[in-house]
């Protein structure tokens, strides 16, 4: 409590600060971030599984003869010999190695992709794109409100659930239209949903 | 007579002139950002696509390579608006370990005084890959045309049209508010469909379908081994070249069922309002068809060769 009071006292232009904070732009993380996080989590899960599996492995101690054999082999000094007796051969081998490495790298590396922007013009048919799909919402709402006042039964509940699903689908579709623009396919899908909504509302009205 | 023809022509002209729908065509500037990227294919890789308002075309070739062409398209009468809104469409084409991720999405409009995009926006993917490469596709408000895959395909789709052609292997489809149209399908198919229409031509192998609120047309061939269909509030047509040589286990509740007259079997009525029928042809091997229909209609008919 004391700390809070002290902080409030120190901030002379608190309102200005709060307004400035409110005006800061909001940012959403890039899609690549989630992909990277997903990959990292997958890797960690695999490592964890591997660690658990390592602990479960049985332990075996080697027979005493094995150590004797290893120490006797270590005592025998290896004989070193010069690999390239001629310097020309060594240079040629180096060049060959470099070319081979570059070739392998080029073959296995993924290309960064090509990108281009094109500009054309076309005629777009927008006949009937102005929507009248919300024209009857008031009447639909009236039927729903009347149904809400009625005693519940299995058929009405099922109709309400169906209408809810269709309303949600309509909301998603109209939101997409506002973001991506209307096209014939979206309008066709919306028309189908509207036909199904009409059927449900008619059935509801018949129950009143 | 001459006057009546003239009168008719006049009326026709009047009707055409006062037609309520007047065609509206506008000239738009089309800005397309085209991205091309190739990936080497190795066994165990999977192509993972998440499209939004995207038309996704998937085809195969002999090369051990995955080729991706993405086109982000913005259309508007004003070129500057089309260019501005094109920048709102983001994409991703990246390999992370054994998965090749392909994405498109609309970044949120930030800053003061900005509203929704004004241009018509759409995306097109053309993906060419080896037939054995597994594919996962999630698409909303778009279309998909997938052909000649042989290994594993998973599709999760909403408000989209899915076209499948010449597919083999294991296929899982989930569709909501969409259409599924398939041809020459042979393998293990698992389909969950809600408020979607299905038309599957020339199907063989094993099919497991769960459907609600849809029109379902299945055209089987002689190699169909097994079909399990659970259809609720749906209209179902099942066609087979020899429907009398198929073993049936049918159950219907609140539904009409039409069977070919050559199938000699009797319905068994249960207390819960369900009717059941089983029929086995007098043969050693026969396809097994098990259909449960609730509040819909089922028609079993002989398939006439196209």
Q: Is the pLDDT of residue B112 over 50?
A: no
What's the gap between Cα B265 and its chain centre?
35
Contact A117 B34 (CB under 8 A): yes
Contact B24 A120 (CB under 8 A): no
What is the average per-residue pLDDT within B16-32? 75
Which residues of chain B neighbour A178 with C-beta distances below 8 Å? Answer: 116
Q: Is the pLDDT of residue A78 over 70?
A: no
**Which DSSP symbol is given to A128?**
T
Least confident of A6-20, B93-107, B121-135: A6-20
Cα separation of B226 and B207, whole Å?
A: 6
Dihedral-angle region of residue B131 (phi above 0 means left; psi in -120 to 50 means alpha; beta otherwise): alpha
What's the gap between Cα A107 and its chain centre?
30
Count residue pairs from A and B with Cβ separation < 8 A: 131
Which residues of chain A neighbour B117 with C-beta distances below 8 Å? Answer: 179-181
Cα separation of A30 and A201, whole Å?
A: 43
Q: Is the pLDDT of residue A178 over 50?
A: yes
Contacts of A89 (CB under 8 A, 6+ apart): none
Distance from CA of B200 to the nearest CA of A (A): 21
The two three-digit tokens of residue B147, written as one number: 């052909």
- Under the banding of pLDDT at 50, 70 and 90, the label for residue A84 is low
Q: Can you give the pLDDT at residue A139?
A: 87
Phi, psi of A63 (to 5 degrees): -65, 150
Of A117, A178, A186, the CB nearest to B141: A186
- Under the banding of pLDDT at 50, 70 and 90, the label for residue A7 is very low
Distance from CA of B91 to the nearest CA of A (A): 9
Distance from CA of B18 to the nearest CA of A (A): 16
Is residue A173 a contact partner of residue A189, using CB atoms and an 8 Å limit? yes
Contact A32 B94 (CB under 8 A): yes
pLDDT digits (tens, 9 = 90+) for B206-257: 999 999 999 999 999 999 999 999 999 999 999 999 999 999 999 999 999 9
Which residues of chain B neighbour A115 with C-beta distances below 8 Å? Answer: 33-36
Q: Can you give the pLDDT at residue A5?
A: 47
Contact A173 B106 (CB under 8 A): no
Q: What is the C-alpha end-to-end distance of chain B, expressed in Å?
A: 48
Distance from CA of A83 to the nearest CA of B (A): 37
Contact A111 B37 (CB under 8 A): yes
Percent of chain B with pLDDT strictly greater than 90:
81
What string of DSSP letters covers chain B?
-HHHHHHHHHHHHHHHHT-S----EEEEEEEEEEEEEEEE--TT-EEEEEEESEEEEEEEESSSEEEEEEEEEEEESSHHHHHHHHTTEEEEEEEETTEEEEEEEEPPP-STT--S--SEEEEEEEEEEETTS-EEEEEESSEEEEE---SEEEEEEES-EEEEEEEEEEEEEEEES-EEEEEEEEEEEEEEEES-EEEEEEEEEEEEEEEES-EEEEEEEEEEEEEEEEEES-EEEEEESSGGGSEEEEEEES-EEE--TT-----EE-TTSEEEEEE--SSSS--EEEEEEESSEEEEEEPPP-
Q: Can you give the pLDDT at residue B267?
A: 85
Contact A183 B122 (CB under 8 A): yes
Is residue B82 a contact partner of residue B32, using CB atoms and an 8 Å limit? no
State the pTM of this model.
Answer: 0.74
Residue identified by tokens 């050559």 is B262
Q: Can you give the pLDDT at residue B259?
A: 92
Contact A121 B30 (CB under 8 A): yes
Of B21, B94, B121, the CB nearest to A35: B94
Cα separation of A62 and A89, whole Å?
A: 46
Cα separation of B36 and B13, whole Å?
A: 53
Of A35, A43, A118, the CB nearest to B34: A118
Best of B22, B26, B127 to disrupt the A interface by mutation (most A CBs within 10 Å)? B26
Largest separation between any pair of C-alpha atoms in chain A: 104
Q: How far are the Cα atoms of A84, A110, B14, B152 from residue B57, in angstroms, in the given order?
A: 56, 22, 46, 16
Is residue B231 a contact partner of residue B216, using CB atoms and an 8 Å limit? yes
ipTM of this complex prediction, to 2 decimal places? 0.74
Contact B30 A122 (CB under 8 A): yes
Q: Where are the alpha helices (H) located in chain A, listed in sequence order? A: 2-10, 14-22, 31-55, 64-75, 87-108, 137-148, 154-180, 184-207
Cα B271–B272–B274 angle (5° rounding)? 95
Contact A128 B116 (CB under 8 A): no
What's the gap between Cα B264 and its chain centre?
35
Q: Can you give the pLDDT at residue A4?
A: 46
Q: How far are the Cα atoms of A97, A176, B61, B187 from residue B45, in angstroms, in the given order?
A: 30, 32, 16, 21
Q: Can you give the pLDDT at residue A97?
A: 85
Which residues of chain A neighbour B36 with C-beta distances below 8 Å? Answer: 113-115
Q: Is the pLDDT of residue A1 over 60?
A: no
Using CB atoms within 10 Å of the CB of residue B296, give its burial: 0 to 12 exposed, 13 to 18 middle, 19+ buried.
Answer: buried
Cα A14–A19–A22 angle (5° rounding)? 130
Contact A27 B110 (CB under 8 A): yes
Distance from CA of B36 to the nearest CA of A (A): 5
Contact A115 B39 (CB under 8 A): no
């Amino acid at each position: 409590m004391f700390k809070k009071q002290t902080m409030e006292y120190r901030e002379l232009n608190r309102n200005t600060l709060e307004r400035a904070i409110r005006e800061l732009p909001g940012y959403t993380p890039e899609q690549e971030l989630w992909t990277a996080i997903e990959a990292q989590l997958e890797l960690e899960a695999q490592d964890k599984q591997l660690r658990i599996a390592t602990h479960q492995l049985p332990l075996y101690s080697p027979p005493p003869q094995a150590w004797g054999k290893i120490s006797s082999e270590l005592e025998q000094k290896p004989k070193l010999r010069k690999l390239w007796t001629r310097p020309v051969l060594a240079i040629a081998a180096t060049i060959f190695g470099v070319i081979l490495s570059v070739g392998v790298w080029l073959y296995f590396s993924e290309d960064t992709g090509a990108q281009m922007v094109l500009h054309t013009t076309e005629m777009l048919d927008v006949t009937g794109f102005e929507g009248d799909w919300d024209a009857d919402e008031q009447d639909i709402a009236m039927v729903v409100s009347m149904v809400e006042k009625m005693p519940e039964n299995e058929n009405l509940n099922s109709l309400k659930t169906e209408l809810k699903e269709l309303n949600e689908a309509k909301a998603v579709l109209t939101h997409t239209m506002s973001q991506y623009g209307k096209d014939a396919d979206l309008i066709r899908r919306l028309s189908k949903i509207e036909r199904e909504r009409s059927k449900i509302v008619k059935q509801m009205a018949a129950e009143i | 007579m001459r006057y009546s023809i003239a009168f008719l022509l006049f009326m026709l002209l009047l009707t055409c002139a006062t037609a309520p729908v007047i065609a509206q065509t506008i000239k738009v500037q089309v800005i397309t950002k085209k991205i091309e990227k190739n990936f080497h294919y190795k066994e165990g890789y999977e192509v993972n696509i998440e499209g939004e308002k995207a038309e996704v075309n998937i085809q195969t070739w002999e090369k051990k390579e995955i080729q991706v062409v993405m086109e982000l398209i913005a259309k508007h009468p004003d070129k500057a608006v089309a260019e501005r809104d094109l920048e709102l469409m983001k994409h991703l084409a990246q390999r992370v370990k054994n998965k090749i991720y392909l994405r498109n999405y609309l970044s949120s409009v930030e800053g003061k005084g900005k509203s929704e995009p004004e241009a018509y926006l759409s995306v097109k993917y053309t993906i060419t890959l080896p037939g054995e490469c597994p594919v996962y596709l999630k698409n909303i408000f778009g279309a998909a045309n997938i052909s000649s895959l042989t290994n594993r395909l998973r599709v999760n789709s909403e408000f989209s049209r899915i076209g499948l052609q010449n597919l083999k292997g294991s296929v899982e489809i989930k569709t909501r508010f969409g259409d599924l149209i398939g041809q020459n399908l042979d393998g293990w198919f698992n389909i969950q469909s809600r408020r979607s229409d299905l038309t599957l031509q020339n199907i063989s192998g094993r099919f497991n379908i769960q459907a609600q609120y849809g029109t379902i047309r299945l055209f089987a061939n002689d190699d169909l081994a097994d079909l399990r269909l659970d259809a609720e509030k749906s209209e179902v047509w099942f066609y087979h070249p020899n429907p009398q040589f198929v073993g049936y286990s049918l159950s219907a509740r609140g539904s009409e069922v039409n069977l070919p007259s050559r199938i000699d079997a009797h319905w068994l009525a249960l207390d819960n309002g369900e009717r059941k029928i089983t029929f086995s042809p007098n043969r050693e091997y026969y396809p097994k068809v098990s259909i449960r229909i609730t509040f819909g209609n089922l028609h079993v008919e002989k398939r006439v060769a196209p």
